[in-house]
Chain A
Amino acid sequence: MLEIKGLKVKLEEEDKQILKGVDLKIEPGTVHAIMGPNGSGKSTLSYVLSGKDGYVVTDGEATLEGADLLDMDPEDRAAAGLFLAFQYPVEIPGVGNMTFLRTAVNAQRKSRGEVELTAGEFLKEVREKAKSLQIDAEMLKRPVNVGFSGGEKKRNEILQMAMLAPKMCILDETDSGLDVDAMKLVAEGVNALRSEGRSFLVITHYQRLLDHIKPDVVHIMADGRIIKSGGPELALEVENNGYADILAEVA
Chain B
Amino acid sequence: MALAKLKVETTDARLSGVVVPDGAAWSNAVRADALSRVRQMGLPTKRDEYWKYTDPASLTTAEPSSAALFVNDEGPLFEAVDRVRIVFVDGVFDADASDDLTAEGVEIERLAVAMQTDIHWAKDLYGVLETRGQTPVERPLAALNTALATDGVVIRVTGKAAKPINFIYLHKDENSDAMLHNVVKVEAGAEVTILETGPAAARFSKMLEVEVADGATFHHVRAQGRDHERRAVTHCFARIGANATFKSFTLTFNGVLTRNECILEIVGDDSVAHVAGACVGDGKDFHHDDTVFVTHDSLNCESRQVFKKVLRNGATGVFQGKILVKAGAQKTDGYQISQSLLLDEDSQFLAKPELEIYADDVACSHGSTSGAIDETALFYLRSRGVPHDEARNLLTLSFLAESLEEIDDAGLAEELRDRLEAWLARHS
Spell out A's residues near B (CB within 8 Å): 50-53, 73-75, 77-79, 83-84, 86, 89-95, 99-100, 103-105, 107-108, 111, 143, 160, 164
Q: Which residues of B contact A95 (CB under 8 A)?
A: 394-395, 397-398
CA distance A50 to B391 in the complex (A): 16
Q: Which residues of B contact A83 (CB under 8 A)?
A: 383
Q: Which residues of A contact B374 (CB under 8 A)?
A: 92
Asked if B384 lies at the interface with its beta carbon under 8 angstroms from chain A, I say yes
Asked if B335 lies at the interface with its beta carbon under 8 angstroms from chain A, I say no
CA distance A75 to B384 in the complex (A): 7
CA distance A51 to B387 in the complex (A): 13
Q: Decide yes or no: A92 and B385 within 8 Å by CB, A53-B379, A74-B379, A103-B390 being known contacts.
A: no
A94 in contact with B383 (CB, 8 Å): no
B380 in contact with A86 (CB, 8 Å): yes
CA distance A86 to B401 in the complex (A): 26
CA distance A103 to B376 in the complex (A): 18
- Taking each of A50, A78, A91, which has the highest tally of chain B beta carbons within 10 Å of its own beta carbon? A78
B386 in contact with A90 (CB, 8 Å): no
Asked if B375 lies at the interface with its beta carbon under 8 angstroms from chain A, I say yes
Q: Which residues of B contact A52 (CB under 8 A)?
A: 379, 383
B398: nearest chain-A partner, CB-CB: A94
Q: Mark B364-376, 1 if CB is under 8 A from A, else 0.
A: 0000000000111
Q: Which residues of B contact A100 (CB under 8 A)?
A: 381, 384, 394
6 A/B residue pairs, CB under 8 Å, sorted by A: A78-B382, A92-B377, A94-B402, A95-B394, A95-B395, A108-B384
At the interface, is chain B mostly helix, strand, loop or mixed?
A: helix
Option from A74, A93, A111, A143 in Cβ contact (under 8 Å) with B383: A74
Option from A75, A79, A94 in Cβ contact (under 8 Å) with B399: A94
Within 8 A of A (CB), among B397-421: 397-399, 401-402
- Taking each of B379, B383, B390, B398, which has the highest tally of chain A beta carbons within 10 Å of its own beta carbon? B383
B401 in contact with A75 (CB, 8 Å): no
Q: Which residues of B contact A164 (CB under 8 A)?
A: 384-385
Q: Which residues of A contact B132 (CB under 8 A)?
A: none
Option from A73, A99, A160 in Cβ contact (under 8 Å) with B384: A160
Q: Which residues of A contact B376 (CB under 8 A)?
A: 90
Q: Decide yes or no: A75 and B388 within 8 Å by CB, A84-B383, A94-B398 being known contacts.
A: yes
B384: nearest chain-A partner, CB-CB: A104
Q: Decide yes or no: A107 and B377 within 8 Å by CB, A73-B382, A93-B398, A95-B398 being known contacts.
A: no
Q: Which residues of B contact A107 (CB under 8 A)?
A: 384-387, 390
CA distance A154 to B383 in the complex (A): 16
- Name the distance in Å between A154's Cβ and chain B's nearest Cβ: 14
B397 in contact with A53 (CB, 8 Å): no
A92 in contact with B380 (CB, 8 Å): yes
Q: Which residues of A contact B390 (CB under 8 A)?
A: 103, 107
CA distance A99 to B379 in the complex (A): 17
Q: Which 6 A-B pairs have the closest CB atoms?
A: A94-B398, A78-B385, A108-B385, A104-B384, A74-B382, A90-B380
A53 in contact with B383 (CB, 8 Å): no
A79 in contact with B379 (CB, 8 Å): no
Q: Which residues of A contact B383 (CB under 8 A)?
A: 50-52, 74-75, 77-78, 83-84, 86
CA distance A105 to B384 in the complex (A): 8
- Taking each of B376, B382, B383, B385, which has the highest tally of chain A beta carbons within 10 Å of its own beta carbon? B385
Q: Which residues of B contact A111 (CB under 8 A)?
A: 385, 387
Q: Decide yes or no: A104 and B381 within 8 Å by CB, A53-B375, A90-B376, A95-B394 being known contacts.
A: yes
Q: Which residues of A contact B385 (CB under 8 A)?
A: 75, 78-79, 104-105, 107-108, 111, 164
Option from A51, A84, A103, A143 in Cβ contact (under 8 Å) with B386: A103
- Name the distance in Å between A76's Cβ and chain B's nearest Cβ: 8
CA distance A9 to B397 in the complex (A): 35
Q: Which residues of B contact A53 (CB under 8 A)?
A: 375, 379
CA distance A104 to B385 in the complex (A): 6
B402 in contact with A75 (CB, 8 Å): no
Q: Decide yes or no: A92 and B375 within 8 Å by CB, A75-B385, A75-B388, A104-B385 being known contacts.
A: no
Q: Decide yes or no: A75 and B386 within 8 Å by CB, A90-B377, A94-B399, A94-B401 being known contacts.
A: yes
CA distance A108 to B385 in the complex (A): 5
A94 in contact with B397 (CB, 8 Å): yes
A52: nearest chain-B partner, CB-CB: B379
- Name the distance in Å between B212's Cβ and chain A's nearest Cβ: 30
Q: Which residues of A contact B397 (CB under 8 A)?
A: 94-95
Q: Which residues of A contact B402 (CB under 8 A)?
A: 94
CA distance A52 to B388 in the complex (A): 13
Q: Which residues of B contact A91 (CB under 8 A)?
A: 377
Q: A92-B380, A94-B402 are in contact. List 9 more A-B contacts (CB 8 A).
A: A73-B382, A73-B388, A78-B382, A90-B380, A92-B377, A92-B398, A94-B401, A104-B386, A108-B384
- Name the distance in Å between A72's Cβ and chain B's nearest Cβ: 11
CA distance A108 to B300 in the complex (A): 52
CA distance A164 to B386 in the complex (A): 12
B379 in contact with A75 (CB, 8 Å): no
CA distance A147 to B387 in the complex (A): 26
CA distance A95 to B402 in the complex (A): 11
Within 8 A of A (CB), among B200-229: none
- Name the distance in Å between A162's Cβ and chain B's nearest Cβ: 13
CA distance A50 to B381 in the complex (A): 12
CA distance A89 to B386 in the complex (A): 16
- Name the distance in Å between A140's Cβ and chain B's nearest Cβ: 15
- Name the distance in Å between B394's Cβ and chain A's nearest Cβ: 6
- Name the distance in Å between B300's Cβ and chain A's nearest Cβ: 30
Q: Which residues of B contact A78 (CB under 8 A)?
A: 382-385
- Name the distance in Å between B305's Cβ and chain A's nearest Cβ: 19
CA distance A111 to B382 in the complex (A): 13
